[in-house]
Structure 1
């Protein structure tokens, strides 16, 4: 997957000047995450099912 061509999105509750923002982008089978302060830095790419599990755990806490 070409990560530079993805449509990166930031959480709607984030502010432009926020210092702790994560952006996500969806591919056909994967979800990519990156630090909004360093868009050219490392990215984490996980399967859609792993991302759904991750979100469900966050919501449960």
Structure 2
């Protein structure tokens, strides 16, 4: 992964500052990076294609992964 020092990481507006948060960032080329907020810059970064990320977040918003 290239230098990410200028990347702006953000948490969900639903985050209550708990310990189970992740941060996401829009990366060059349209991809999205995701990391563990507790580890910050020390966290490994998962990188997703922007379209895949959009489909995932849409499914989350629609309750696709909610427990019965």
Instruction: Please indicate the TM-score interval, normalised by the length of the shorter structure.
Output: 0.7 to 0.9
The structure with more helix, counted as a fraction of residues: 1
CA radius of gyration, larger in: 2
Backbone CA RMSD of aligned residues = 1.5
TM-score, normalization by structure 1: 0.81
The structure with more strand, counted as a fraction of residues: 1
Give the match's secondary structure for 1:23.
Answer: strand
**Greater relative contact order, per chain length (Cα 8 Å cut-off, separation 6+):** 1
Q: 1:49 to 1:11 in 2, by over 3 A?
A: same
The answer for unaligned runs of 5 or more in structure 2 is: none
TM-score, normalization by structure 2: 0.74
Runs of 4+ in 1 over 6 A off after TM superposition: none
